[in-house]
């Protein structure tokens, strides 16, 4: 990377549950447009770290900064408003809302920002290969299609940072490879940074950097 300031900076982050330490001394920098994969043993706190990066979870020491904004200094309402504008999520379990159709699910981030945009939703549906399926309900879709909905929803509001937690974990290998192709293509198209948590060696191999999370930090 050039001398540009990082999009995301993590300094000395630690998370504990009571007396039990999950991880400590985590240092991390991610630049705009970069793809970083985080791997590690089960139970080491990869999903917890991702939630901290989004300001969804609290931490016990250290700092998380996005473009110089210290998330630890924001209250819950400020974090939620910040997250709506700057972050997109893709989860293993899809997390689509069952009572909303595909177009409504994809358009939800825009609706929450008070700027609904049917044309933008249509553009994203076409980009992820779901053109013409906007009026379908989630139960009518396959797992691969549901993850395409999740990717479209995560990027519809053009966030600077995309966080993906095991996005291919519920998919067969062939579908998983296609979803990773789509996720990377769309992330690049939008110029977003991508931080991916995964157990999949195939998914991690696509990253520019692979970082190993341990209880003592990242290596």
The structural domains of the chain, with segments of one domain joined by +, span: 34-56+73-210
Burial environment of residue 216 by CB neighbours within 10 A (0 to 12, 13 to 18, 19 or more) = exposed
Q: What is the pLDDT of residues 93-147, one digit of tens each?
A: 888 999 999 999 999 999 999 999 999 999 999 999 999 999 999 999 999 999 9
> Considering Cα of 59, then 183, then 155, then 104, what sign does the dihedral take?
negative
pLDDT value at residue 114: 94
> Considering Cα of 106, then 188, then 162, then 198, what sign does the dihedral take?
positive
With 90 as the cut, is the pLDDT of residue 30 above it? yes
CB 90 within 8 A of CB 154: yes
Centre a 10 Å sphere on the Cβ of residue 17 and count the other Cβ atoms it contains: 10
Question: Which of 219, 102, 89 lies closest to 166 in space, CA to CA?
Answer: 89
Q: Give this prediction's pTM.
A: 0.91
SS (H, E, C) 124-170: HHHHCCCCCCCCCCHHHCCHHHHHHHHHHHHHCCCCCEEEEECCCCC
Give the model's confidence band at 169: pLDDT under 50 very low, under 70 low, under 90 confident, else very high.
confident
Q: What is the pLDDT of residues 149-166, one digit of tens each?
A: 999 999 999 999 999 999
Q: Across all residues in the chain, what is the average pLDDT? A: 93
In Å, how far are 1, 2, 65 from 5, measured between CA atoms?
Answer: 10, 9, 11
Average pLDDT (69-87) is 94
Three-state SS at 19: coil
pLDDT value at residue 171: 86
Question: CATH says 34-56+73-210 is which class?
Answer: alpha beta
CB 195 within 8 A of CB 164: yes
Q: What is the pLDDT of residues 171-190, one digit of tens each?
A: 888 988 988 999 999 899 88
Could you give the count of Cα atoms lying within 13 Å of 64 in the half-sphere of its Cβ?
A: 19
CB 156 within 8 A of CB 121: yes
Whole-angstrom Cα distance, residue 108 to residue 41? 34
* Angle between helix 143-155 and 102-112 (nearest 10): 20
Backbone angle region of 158, left / alpha / beta, with phi > 0 → left and psi within -120 to 50 → alpha = left
């Amino acid at each position: 990377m050039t001398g540009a300031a990082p999009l995301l900076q993590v300094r000395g982050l630690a998370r504990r549950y009571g007396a039990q330490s999950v991880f400590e001394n985590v240092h991390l920098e991610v630049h705009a447009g970069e793809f970083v994969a985080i791997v590690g043993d089960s139970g080491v706190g990869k999903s917890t770290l991702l939630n901290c990066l989004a300001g969804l979870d609290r931490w016990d020491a250290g700092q998380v900064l996005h473009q110089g904004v210290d998330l630890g200094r924001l209250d819950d309402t400020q974090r939620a408003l910040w997250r709506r504008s700057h972050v997109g999520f893709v989860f293993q379990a899809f997390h689509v809302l069952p009572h909303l159709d595909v177009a409504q699910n994809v358009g939800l981030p825009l609706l929450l920002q008070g700027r609904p945009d049917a044309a933008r939703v249509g553009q994203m549906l076409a980009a992820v290969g779901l053109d013409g399926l906007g009026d379908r309900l989630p139960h009518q879709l396959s797992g691969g299609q549901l993850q395409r909905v999740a990717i479209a929803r995560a990027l519809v509001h053009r966030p600077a940072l995309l966080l993906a937690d095991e996005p291919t974990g519920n998919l067969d290998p062939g579908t998983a490879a296609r979803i990773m192709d789509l996720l990377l293509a769309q992330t690049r198209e939008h110029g977003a940074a991508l931080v991916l948590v995964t157990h999949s060696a195939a998914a991690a191999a696509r990253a520019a950097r692979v970082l190993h999370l341990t209880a003592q930090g990242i290596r």
